[in-house]
């Protein structure tokens, strides 16, 4: 464990020093060149570049894996080419990439506003989504084979690693929150938990995509939960919204809109919570690393090298915190989803008992 931490620390320090050497070389320029104005390091631009989606997968500075660009327009139909064609503000076949979006341009390089362009490209986040899907398929296929092979025996390999987590989701999330209907929703809850967990962990790797920090992804997960809760809701669930028990009739015009808004606020809270927590963690870590380059731009390489060990220590510490957050956010999203489903499928007598307990506590 300590050797792994030490190796990561030394690797990070080496990457920082090599980056600083590259920055210094670019600032001084080649011998004999005319001096040019020194540009300051833009921390905000660096952070946004790393947390936003893009058409190429940049593993490190200068090392980018090109991804397929798939465009459709009414006049040209479907066009497919490599994202490397649009690197470094290049124009290819009348297309140019600006601020992460691809536009049709004319011969003068101006964007043609009248062209309706549909972008179905395999972006960095899409590629990461496919990668996590493949990882999940491989993991659970292995677990399924392990159960079939070791039936009645102690689990082995990947099965022994994932079985405690699967049992935790079933016994501590699904059963207490949903009740005897939990088996119907357990596959979705397991998929949700492991999808969020795997992508949270992948997002901590250098050069990885910020998938669960993309609000479109968290929105999709929240919409899935909203649809399952909505279509699973029984008569008691909808009657509780339309006619809350124990509420005087003259208060209903106020309570009913509040209950309806609450139906939509639940998935919105799921979406924002996961997006904000994952994105905030990445921003804090990148901001700390940005201090090194800011020091290099303002006070020179000596100062940046001097503060590098301190910055890297706090960065590694925050990475360990992010490991905890990765598990915690997967747990919270799954638990709240299970609770929302449980409230939708709850039997009437269970609701009355719960309501009576709350009344007694009040």
pLDDT per position as a tens digit, 28-55: 444 444 444 445 567 777 778 778 888 8
Answer with the residue of higher pLDDT: 84 or 9.
Answer: 84
Q: Regarding beta strands 91-92 and 95-98, do their DSSP bridges make them parallel or antiparallel, or are they unpaired?
A: antiparallel
Largest CA distance in the chain: 86
Do 353 and 242 fall into the same domain?
Answer: yes
Q: What is the pLDDT of residue 212?
A: 93
pLDDT grade, residue 1 (50/70/90)? very low
Q: What is the Cα–Cα distance from 107 to 105, expressed in whole angstroms?
A: 7
Sequence-distant (6+) residues with CB within 8 A of 60 are 15, 206, 207
Please count the CA atoms within 13 angstroms of the CA of 87 that sit on its side-chain side.
15
> Looking at the domain assignment, is residue 33 inside a domain?
no
Q: What is the Cα–Cα distance from 124 to 130, expressed in whole angstroms?
A: 10
Phi, psi of 57 (to 5 degrees): -100, 100
Q: Can you say how many angstroms the Cα of residue 331 is from the centroid of all Cα atoms in its chain? A: 14
- Domain around 108: 68-121
Total domain count, the chain: 2
> Looking at the domain assignment, is residue 218 inside a domain?
yes
pLDDT per position as a tens digit, 123-159: 999 999 999 999 999 999 988 888 888 777 777 788 8
- Domain-terminating residue out of 91, 121, 151: 121
> Looking at the domain assignment, is residue 320 inside a domain?
yes
Do 105 and 230 fall into the same domain?
Answer: no
Do 200 and 104 fall into the same domain?
Answer: no
Do 131 and 96 fall into the same domain?
Answer: no
> Looking at the domain assignment, is residue 44 inside a domain?
no
Do 193 and 303 fall into the same domain?
Answer: yes
Do 135 and 73 fall into the same domain?
Answer: no
pLDDT grade, residue 225 (50/70/90)? very high
Q: What is the pLDDT of residue 324?
A: 93
pLDDT per position as a tens digit, 176-189: 999 888 999 999 99
Do 165 and 91 fall into the same domain?
Answer: no
Do 264 and 347 fall into the same domain?
Answer: yes
pLDDT per position as a tens digit, 60-104: 777 889 999 999 998 889 999 999 998 888 899 889 988 888 989
Do 95 and 205 fall into the same domain?
Answer: no
Q: What is the Cα–Cα distance from 37 to 70, expressed in whole angstroms?
A: 39
Maximum mean pLDDT: which of 143-147, 244-248, 325-329: 325-329
Do 228 and 317 fall into the same domain?
Answer: yes
Q: Which of 107, 104, 65, 71 is nearest to 87 (CA)?
A: 65
């Amino acid at each position: 464990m300590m050797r792994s931490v030490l190796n990561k620390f030394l690797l990070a320090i080496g990457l920082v020093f090599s980056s600083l050497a590259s920055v210094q070389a670019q600032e001084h320029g080649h011998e004999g060149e005319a001096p040019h104005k020194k540009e300051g390091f833009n921390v905000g631009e660096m952070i946004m570049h790393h947390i936003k989606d893009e058409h190429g997968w940049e593993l490190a500075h200068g090392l980018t894996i090109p991804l397929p660009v798939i465009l459709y327009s009414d006049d040209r139909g479907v066009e497919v080419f490599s994202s490397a064609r649009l690197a470094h503000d290049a124009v290819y076949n009348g297309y140019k990439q600006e601020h992460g979006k691809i536009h049709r341009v004319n011969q003068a390089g101006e964007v043609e506003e009248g062209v309706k362009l549909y972008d179905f490209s395999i972006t960095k986040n899409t590629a990461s989504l496919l990668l996590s899907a493949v990882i999940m398929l491989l993991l659970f296929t292995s677990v399924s084979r392990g159960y079939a092979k070791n039936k009645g025996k102690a689990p082995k390999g990947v099965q022994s690693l994932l079985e405690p987590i699967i049992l935790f989701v079933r016994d501590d999330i699904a059963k207490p929150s949903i009740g005897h209907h939990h088996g119907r929703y357990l596959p979705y809850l397991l998929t949700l938990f492991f999808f969020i967990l795997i992508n949270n962990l992948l997002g901590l790797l250098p050069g990885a995509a910020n998938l669960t920090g993309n609000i479109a992804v968290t929105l999709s997960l929240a919409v899935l939960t909203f649809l399952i809760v909505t279509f699973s809701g029984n008569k008691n669930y909808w009657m509780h919204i339309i006619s809350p028990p124990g509420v005087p009739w003259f208060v209903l015009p106020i309570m009913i809109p509040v209950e309806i808004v609450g139906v939509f606020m639940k998935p919105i809270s799921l979406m924002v919570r996961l997006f904000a927590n994952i994105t905030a963690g990445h921003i804090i870590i990148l901001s700390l690393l940005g201090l090194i380059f800011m020091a290099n731009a303002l006070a020179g390489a000596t100062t940046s090298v001097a503060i590098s060990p301190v910055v890297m220590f706090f960065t590694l510490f925050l990475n360990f915190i992010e490991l905890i957050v990765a598990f915690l956010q997967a747990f919270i999203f799954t638990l709240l989803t299970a609770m929302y489903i449980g409230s939708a499928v709850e039997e009437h007598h269970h609701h009355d008992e719960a309501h009576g307990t709350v009344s007694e506590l009040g």
